[in-house]
Copies of this chain bind each other. A is one copy, B any other.
Amino acid sequence: MARNTQVSADHNAPPITQTLARFVATHPSRGWSDAVEHEAHRTFMNWLGCAVGAAQHESAEAALGAVHLLQPSAQASVLGRSEMVDMASAALINGITSHTFDFDDTHLKTIIHPAGPVASAVLALAEHKGLSGRAVLDALVLGIDVSCRVGNLMYPEHYDRGWHITGSTGTLGAAAGCARLLGLNEQQTAMALGIAASQPVGMREQFGTMTKPFHPGGAARAGLMSALLASQGFTASPKALEAPRGMIQTISTKYAWNEVTDELGQRFEISFNTYKPFACGIVIHPSIDACSQLRAQGVTADQVERIELKVHSLVLELTGKKEPADGLQGKFSVYHGCACGLIFGKAGEPQYDDAIVNREDMVALRRKVVATVDDSIDEASADVTAVLKDGRKVHVFVKNAIGSLENPMTDAMLEGKFHDLSDPVLGSEATQALIASAWDLAQLKDVRALTALAKPKK
C-alpha cells in the first residue's frame, strides 16, 4: 500500500526543475562577463592539473582495473594516461583522479568541489563527439551553476545530515552540462535533471577512503548517463527536484528555493570558486602562507631559534598533530605546514611525501614551532613571528591566506601548481603545452586537440 506520511513536506515548492532546465537549454553561449569567463578557464585549468597529477595513483589503477573488466570502447581519454575508455567510464575515472589529492577547487559557500563532477562529464562527452572548447566552457559554467545553486539551497543541513555535497549535487551539474553539450531542449533537459535527481552520490563517512574521490567520479558518470538517457526519450518526473518526494525534500531538511532563482543568469556561482595552493585542509593555509612569506623575506631554517605561531583554537583542534609519522598525518599538522612554508615556500603533494615528513631538517624545524591559541584571530588568519638566533624578530600577519576568495591565487600560481602536479606525469615541456591549450580553450575547434596533449609520451 502507498503510504502518504512525510514530515514537514513543502507542497508549494516553485518549479525549479523546469526553471533550471530552461536556463541550461536557453542561456546564450558566453552569456556572462569577462570575469566569469576567465574564472571558468581557471576552474578548468585547476581541475585538469589535479586529474593529470593523480593519474598514476592506486585509486586510479583500481578504478581503471574495474572499468577494463567491461572491455570498454575507446571513446575518451583517461587524463594523464595513454588509455582510452568509453566516455562514461572516462567521466568516472577523471572525476576520481581530480579529487584524489583533495587539491581541487572549492565553492566556499557550500564546500562543494564543483569542477570534478561537471568538467569530468563534459570533457569526456565533448572529446567523444569532437565538440569545441566554447561548448565545453558554456557547459561548465552552466553545470556548475546548477550544482552550486542546489547546494546553496540545501547547505548546511544537507551536509550535516551526512551527505558529501560534492557528489549529491554533482550529478545534477553533470547532467546539466551534458544536456547543454548535447543540445537538448528545455523539456529534454528537465528529463535529464529528473533522471539525475534519483542518483545523489556520497556519504561523508567515506572520507579517508578511495570512495571519497569516487563521489565526484560517480556523479560525473551518472550525470552524463542521465543526459544520454534523456536524449533517447527516457522520462522522469518534471518536478523531480522540488516535489515533496523528490530529491531535495528527501535528502535535506533545508529548502531555500530562492537560492535557485535569485539572479539566475546574472550571478554565476563559478565566480565564487577558489583553488587551493596547498595540498591540505584550508585551516592550515594561513600558517603556511605566513611562513612562505618569512622565506620570501630571506629567513632561512638555520637562522631560526623558534617560530611563534598564534592561531584560532579550531586550527589546533583539527590540525594540532605535533609529530606526524607519514604524509597523511602531515596533512593534519600545522607544524609540518609551517616547516613546508619556510623550507620549500610551498606545500604541494610532494611536500606530503612520507620521506619529506620524516626528513631531518623538517623534523627539526617543526619542533621549533610554538603554537598558541588566540581566538581574537580569525580562523582564516595566522600571526607568525620568527625569533632568530641573532635576536632579530621577523613578524608576518596573514589576514586572508593565498587561495581565499579575498586573496585568490594568481594565474601564474595556478600554472605553477599545474606544473607541480603534471610535470612528474607528462614532463615539463608537455605540461607547458597542455597549460597553453587550456588557456586557449575558448578558441579550440575540437577539444581533442587538448586531450591529446594530456597523454604521456610512450
B-contact 0/1 string along A197-218, CB 8 Å cutoff: 1111111111011110011001
Residue of B nearest to A129 (CB): B69
8 Å CB contact of A214 from B211, B234, B314, B318: B234
The reply on A62 being an interface residue by CB < 8 A is: yes
Task: Please give the distance in Å from A458's CB to the nearest CB on chain B.
Answer: 24
Q: Which of A159-180 contact B (CB under 8 A)?
A: 159-164, 167
Q: How many angstroms between the C-alpha atoms of A69 and B244 in the bound complex? A: 34
* CB–CB B237/A283 < 8 A: no
Residues of B within 8 A of A215 (CB): 198
Report A205 CB to chain B, min CB distance, Å.
4
Q: Is the CB of A3 within 8 A of B232?
A: no
Residues of chain B with a CB closer than 8 A to A167's CB:
198
Say which residue of B3, B61, B211, B245 sits within 8 Å of A236 (CB atoms).
Answer: B211
Report which of B66, B162, B204, B283 forms a contact with A225, defined as CB distance below 8 A: B66
User: Contact: A162 with B88, CB < 8 Å?
Assistant: no
> Of residues 128 to 161 in A, which have CB atoms within 8 Å of B's CB atoms?
156, 159-161
Q: Tell me which residues across on chain B come within 8 A of A161, comparing CB atoms.
A: 6-7, 250
Counting every copy of the chain, the complex holds 2
A194: which B residues are within 8 A, CB to CB? Answer: 206, 209, 211
Q: How many residues of A contact B (CB 8 A)?
A: 75
Residue A94 lies at the interface, judged by CB distance under 8 Å to chain B: no
Known contacts A66-B231, A71-B75, A235-B209: A247-B203 contact under CB 8 Å: yes
Measured between beta carbons, the chain B residues less than 8 angstroms from A236 are: 206, 209-211
A239 within 8 A of B: yes
Given A5-B160, A65-B233, A214-B229, 14 other A-B residues pairs in contact with their CB atoms under 8 A: A1-B283, A1-B314, A1-B379, A63-B229, A65-B232, A66-B225, A66-B232, A194-B209, A194-B211, A198-B215, A205-B244, A205-B245, A205-B247, A211-B236
List 6 tightest A-B contacts by C-beta distance, closest first. Answer: A162-B250, A65-B232, A71-B73, A162-B245, A205-B246, A204-B245
Chain A residues with a Cβ under 8 A of chain B: 1-3, 5-7, 58-59, 61-63, 65-66, 69-73, 75, 86-88, 111, 156, 159-164, 167, 194-195, 197-206, 208-211, 214-215, 218, 225, 228-229, 231-237, 239-240, 243-247, 249-251, 282-283, 314, 318, 379
